[in-house]
Structure 1
Amino acid sequence: MERLVTTAQAAEILGISLQGVHYRIKSNQLKSIKQSGKTYVYLWDDNSKKEGYSTSIEEVAQRKEEEKIYIQKVIETKDEQILLLKKSVKWLRRQYQEEIERLEKNQDKIISVFDSEIKLLQSAFNEMRAIYKPQLKPLSPKKKFISLIDFTALMKTYKKSDKEIKILILKAIKNGDKRFIYNKHTKKVLILDEDFSDFK
C-alpha cells in the first residue's frame, strides 16, 4: 500500500540523499505530489520490491554513483564557467589598459599640437606687430608763453619805461625776433618764455 511522505522522509526510508530523491522524482522513478508548496512522495509500506522503489544495496550504490557523477559534472561546468570568467576579466583588463595607453598617447599628441599652434600664433602676432607698429614721431617740446603783463614786469626790473617796452616789442616784431609772434588777424602778440637778458 502506498503512503505519502516528505522528501526528507523518503530519503531516510530509501537510504539515499535528498538530492537523490529529487533526481528520482525528475526522472519519474518516484511518484510525487505538491501540497501547500511542499513536495510529497508516494512510498510502499511493505518491503516487497516494486518497480521504481527498489532499495537494494546495488541500486543504492548505483544511485550514489550517479549522484557523484552528476555532482562532478556540475563542478566541471562551474570550473569551466569560472575559467571563462577569468579569461573574460583578463581580456577586459588588457583592453582597458590598452585604451588608457591610447588615450594618454592621444593626449600627448593633442598637447604637442596645441603647443605648436600657440608658438605659431605668437610668431605671427610678433610679425604683425612689427609690420603695423606705428612709427611714433618725437613730439617737439611744447612752447611756453608769458603774458604781456609778465613781460612788462620783467622789463621793469631792467629799468625800462612803458614807452621803451612798447618800442622794444615793435622793433622785435619788425626785425623778425622769434620770441615775439604777432597775429595779424587778432592784432595780438604772443611772447615766448625765453631769455631776454639782451634787453637790459
Structure 2
Amino acid sequence: MEKLIKPAEYAKEVGISRQAVYAKIKRGILTTKNVEGKLYIVLHEDSQISKEEPTKAIISKTNMVARDMSILQKQKNEQEYKRLLAAKDETIQVLKGTMKELKKSNKQMSSTLRGEIELLKQAFYEMRTLYTHKIEQMKTKPLLQKEMTEISSVSTERFEKWIGIKKFLKRQNIIKEKEKQRIRKYLKKAYKEGDRRLVKIEGKLKIDSDKKYEDIL
C-alpha cells in the first residue's frame, strides 16, 4: 500500500533541506505523484525512512564546504603566491639596480685607485732619485773637498808665484830709490817687449818669482 507525504514533511523527518529533497526527486531517487495539483512523495509500506540520511546530508554538506574551502584556500594561495612573486620581482629589480650602481661605483673606485697608485709611483721614483743624488753627493763630498783644497793650494801657489814690483824689490834687497826706479823702468820695458817672466794681473804688473833676473838687476 502506498503512502503519500509532502516534500517538506519528508525533509523534516529525514533531516535534510527541501532543496536536497527536490534534488533527489530530480535524480529519480524518490518517486513522486501529483494529487490535485500538489506534489507528494510516494512511500511504500515496506519502505522505511532512513535516519542515516541526515548524516549523509551532513557529510555531503561537509564535503561541499570542504571543497569550497579548498577552492578558496587554493585561490588564496594563488593570490598569496602571486603577491610573493610580485614582491620577489620588485626585490630582483631593486637588486639589479643596486648591482648596476655597485658596478659603476667599482669602476669609479678602480679609476681613482689607479690614479692614486700612479701618483704614488711617481712620488716614489722622485724620492728615490733625490735620495740617490743625495747619496752620490755624500760619496763625492770628500773628493770635492780634496779637489777644492788642491785648487785652493794651486791658486795660493799661483798667486805666490806672481808677485808685485814692490815685493820683488824687497826680496832682492833693493833699498835705494834710484835703483828701484831703474829696475821698475827695465821691468816695464821688458813686459812691453813680451818678456814672459812678466804679466799683468788685475791691471798690475806681476813678476814670476821662480825666474832669474840677473839681466835686469
Q: TM-score, normalised by structure 1?
A: 0.36
Q: TM-score, normalised by structure 2?
A: 0.33
